[in-house]
Structure 1
Amino acid sequence: MNATHDATTATSDDAPVLLRRAGRAGHLVLNRPRAINALNHAMVRIMAEALDSWEHDASVATVVVTGAGERGLCAGGDIRSIHDDVRAGGADASAAFWHDEYVLNARIARYPKPYVAVMDGIVMGGGVGISAHGGVRVVTERSRVAMPETGIGFVPDVGGTFLLTRTPGELGTHLALTGTAVGAGDALLCGLADHFVPSERLAEFTAALADRSPADAVREFATEAPAGELAGQRAWIDSCYAADSVEEIVDRLRAVGDPQAKEAAETILAKSPTSLKVTLAALRRARELPSLEAVLEQEYRVSCATLSAPDLPEGIRAQVVDKDRRPRWSPAELSQVSAADVARCFEPAAGRGTLGLV
Structure 2
Amino acid sequence: MSHDLVRFERRPAAGGGCIGIATLNAPKALNALSLEMIELLDEKLEEWAQDPDVHAVWLDGEGDKAFCAGGDVVALVRELKREQEAGRGVGSYASHYFSAEYRLDYRLHTYPKPLLVWADGIVMGGGLGLTAGGRHRLVTETTRIAMPEITIGLYPDIGASWFLNKMPPGVGLYLGLTGASINARDALDLGMADRFVPRERRDELLARLCDCHFAPGHVDDAEALVCDVLGEFEAPEKAPGAQVWPQLDHITSLTLKGRVEDAVAAILGDDRDDDWLSANRARLEKGCPLTAHLAWRMLERHRHSSLADAFRDELVVSIQCNVLGDFAEGVRALLIDKDKSPQWRHRDVASVGSADLAAMFGAPWGNGPGPLDDL
Report the AA paired with residue 6 of structure 2: V
Q: Determine if contact 2:162/2:307 at 8 Å carries over to the other structure.
A: yes
Q: Does 1:229 align with 2:243?
A: yes
1:356 aligns with 2:369: no
Correspondence for 1:247? 261
Residues 67/92 of structure 1: CA separation in 2 closer, same or farther (3 Å cut): same
Out of 57, 63, 81, the residue aligned to residue 51 of structure 2 is 57
Task: Report what 1:317 is aligned to.
Answer: 332
State the match for 1:3 in structure 2. Answer: none
Aligned counterpart, 1:215: 227
Percent identical across equivalent pairs?
A: 34
Q: Distance in 1 between matches of 2:205 and 2:246?
A: 31
Rounded Cα–Cα distance in structure 1 between residues aligned with 2:27 and 2:295? 30
CA distance in 2, matches of 1:251, 1:158: 27
User: Any unmatched runs of 5+ in structure 2?
Assistant: 13-17, 85-89, 213-224
| Conserved 8 A contact 1:253-1:262 | no
The answer to whether the 8 Å contact 1:247/1:334 transfers is yes
Report the CA distance between 1:219 and its aligned residue: 1.0
Distance 1:332 1:246 in 2: 15
Q: Map of 1:253-264 to 2, 5 A cutoff?
A: 253-260=267-274, 264=280
Following superposition, the deviation at residue 357 of structure 1 comes to: 3.8
**After the TM superposition, which residues 267-286 of structure 1 pair with which residues of structure 2 at under 5 Å, given as runs?**
267-286=283-302
Alignment partner of 1:73 is 2:90: no
What corresponds to 2:112 in structure 1? 112
Letter in 1 for 2:231: R
| Alpha-carbon distance, 1:257 to partner | 4.3
Higher relative contact order (CA 8 A, sep 6+): 2
Which residue of 1 is the match for residue 152 of structure 2? 152
Q: Which sits farther off after the overlay, 338-347 or 116-125?
A: 338-347
User: For residues 71-92 of structure 1, what are the alpha-carbon distances to aligned partners after superposition, in whole Å with 9 as ceiling and x for unaligned?
Assistant: 1110110011011012122131
Shift of 1:310: 4.5
Structure 1, gaps ≥5 residues long: 1-5
Q: Could you give the per-residue CA deviations for residues 86-126 of structure 1, whole angstroms, max 9, x where no partner exists?
A: 21221311210110110111111010000100000001111
CA distance in 1, matches of 2:278, 2:139: 29
Report the TM-score when normalising by structure 1.
0.92
- 1:139–1:195: 8 Å Cα contact kept in structure 2? yes
Residue deviations 1:115-162 (CA, integer Å, cap 9, x gap): 100000001111011111110000000000111111100011111221
**Structure 1: how far apart are the matches of 2:325 and 2:362?**
18
Give 1:345 deviation, angstroms.
1.5
- 1:236–1:256 CA contact under 8 A, matched in 2: no
- 1:182-228 C-alpha deviation (Å, 9 max, x unpaired): 10000111111100001111111122222333212211110113331
Residues 294-350 of structure 1: per-residue CA shift (max 9 Å, x gap) = 111111111011121251111001111011111111122222201232222122233
CA contact (8 A) 1:254 1:262 kept: no
Determine helix, strand or coil for the equivalent of 1:193.
Answer: coil
State the SS of the aligned residue for 2:191.
coil
CA distance in 2, matches of 1:133, 1:141: 21
- 1:52 positional shift: 1.2
Distance 2:266 2:279 in 1: 12
TM-score, reference length from structure 2: 0.88
Cα distance between partner residues in 1 of 2:227 and 2:283: 39
Contact preservation (8 Å) 1:82, 1:94: yes
